Amino acid sequence: MAGAKRIIRIISSLLLVGLIGCDGAGNEGGIGPCVHIYDEPIFHIQSVTDGQTGTQIETIVLSNIGIDSTKPDLRFLIIESNRIAMLDSFLVGNPPCSFGTESGLYSFLVSATGYRDTLITTDASYSVFEGGCPSKSSGGLRISITLQPM
């Protein structure tokens, strides 16, 4: 009889743990810290084109990157990224490319061989936030850039 009570206690405990891990709203809570998921990077460079011919520019360099007037660690910008990599103190991308997760005022120089540097300054934020556990962000900023030949 003592064995049966022990089994019932174990089963009851497991059921309680299962109920704590699910809030009934489709959220997968679980036990432990809640996480935030980025469905995509926050800053998307859809295309970079030649200002005279409209030709797509295949490789760009981003330098002097700032977010809200502070210089971010570039390693954190490429944790969530597509078609972009860090090279020394620059980011090198092949548009369409994307990077970062931090909201704020982004400022950087875009350059490519044979083109004038172009300063980009714009606010980037996610347009969609879903609360809960896990929470999610999506709908990053999308821009297109035109560079002028030298």
Closest CA to 107 of 125, 122, 90, 128: 122
pLDDT tens for 111-148 read: 999 999 999 999 999 999 999 999 999 999 999 999 99
Whole-number average pLDDT of the chain = 86
Give residue 33's pLDDT band: very low, low, confident or very high (50, 70, 90): confident
- Whole-model pTM: value is 0.77
The CA-atom distances, in angstroms, between 34 and each of 13, 42, 80, 100, 133 are 22, 21, 19, 21, 6
Identify the CATH number of the domain defined by range 36-147.
2.60.40
Domain ranges of the chain: 1-31, 36-147
Contact 8, 2 (CB under 8 A): no
**pLDDT for residue 7 is more than 50:** no
For residues 62 and 79, give the distance between their C-alpha atoms in angstroms, rounded to a whole number: 16
| Residue 134 CB burial class (10 angstroms; 0-12, 13-18, ≥19) | middle
pLDDT tens for 76-108 read: 999 999 999 999 999 999 999 999 999 999 999
pLDDT tens for 36-63 read: 999 999 999 999 999 999 999 999 999 9
For residues 70 and 68, give the distance between their C-alpha atoms in angstroms, rounded to a whole number: 6
Interacting residues of 25 by C-beta distance below 8 A, sequence separation 6+: 132
For residues 94 and 59, give the distance between their C-alpha atoms in angstroms, rounded to a whole number: 5
Look at the block and give the residue holding tokens 């998307």: 44
